[in-house]
Structure 1
């Protein structure tokens, strides 16, 4: 009986760890795909990592922006040329599962640009919506 209990506990923990690893890998891939899209100058593809919903929240130096479309328009306004976009890199500091439905990500971003480099930190809240991980809140400074 004891061995059977141990087997089920080990099976459950292994299955949970593999699911967490798969989810974390998916989130890391989303961030990698965003970097590739940005560095190709494709803001629309970069935005595929975000929740396409009016409840998306983006917090930046200008305050809070709600909505996917508003966030997209702000990116297009503020990064309207290859020189303004530059080359993006992300350094992940923390990727932490909060629950089966949420992940919290902290990192650094950096743009190398002809017009002057910029960078800062960010934290992202990922949520699993309809089976897909998306950024539902982004605080970048």
Structure 2
């Protein structure tokens, strides 16, 4: 009887963990969808709502590391000054993997369809749950 109770408890624990992980992944995908829509409306400020509003945010791209939310916003505004530069964004999410209870990494590809020429690349994002919301705390894009 003890073994049966232990097995049932383990099954409940693992089932609950899997449900939580699926909910986390859906919440992260929602953030990415909101970013995609904001970007495609040429609204970089709204796009940035998916990022951690902190001086500790890290963005790593072709020009090196940018530190901080404000610096990352300015970097995006400089690199994508007009609607012709932002264009229409689409993602292909290849993997979302749990790092810890409150963190995941996301591997994907992006495509920008735009007037100044299309652009494609890859990215790795680190999401962390902060004050109940999933936020990007690190972004490597190329």
> Smaller-chain TM-score range?
over 0.9
> Offset at 1:30?
0.5
Cα offset, 1:78, TM superposition: 1.2
What's the TM-score once normalised by structure 2's chain length?
0.96
Unaligned runs of 5+ in 2: none
SS at match of 1:93: strand
Matched positions, count: 141
Find the counterpart in structure 2 of residue 121 from structure 1: 122
Equivalences for 1:89-104 in 2 at 5 Å?
A: 89-104=90-105
Distance in 2 of aligned mates of 1:114 and 1:129: 37
State the partner residue of 1:67: 68
Superposition TM-score, scaled by structure 1 size: 0.97
Question: Runs ≥4 in structure 1, deviation > 4 angstroms?
Answer: none
Distance (whole Å) between structure 2 residues aligned to residue 89 and residue 36 of structure 1: 9
Partner deviation per Cα, 1:32-64 (whole Å, 9 max, x = no partner): 110011111111110011000000000111111
3-state SS of the aligned residue for 2:52? coil
For the residues of structure 2 that align with 1:89 and 1:115, how far apart are their CA atoms?
A: 16
Q: Deviations over 1:79-121 (max 9, x none)?
A: 1111011110110111101111210111001101111111110
Counterpart position of 2:26:
25
Question: 2:48 matched to which residue of 1?
Answer: 47
Query: What is the CA–CA distance in structure 1 between the aligned matches of 2:111 and 2:35, rounded to whole Å?
Result: 13
Residue of structure 2 in register with 1:35 after alignment: 36
**Structure 1: segments with no counterpart, 5+ residues:** none
Q: Does 1:10 align with 2:35?
A: no
Shift of 1:2: 2.0
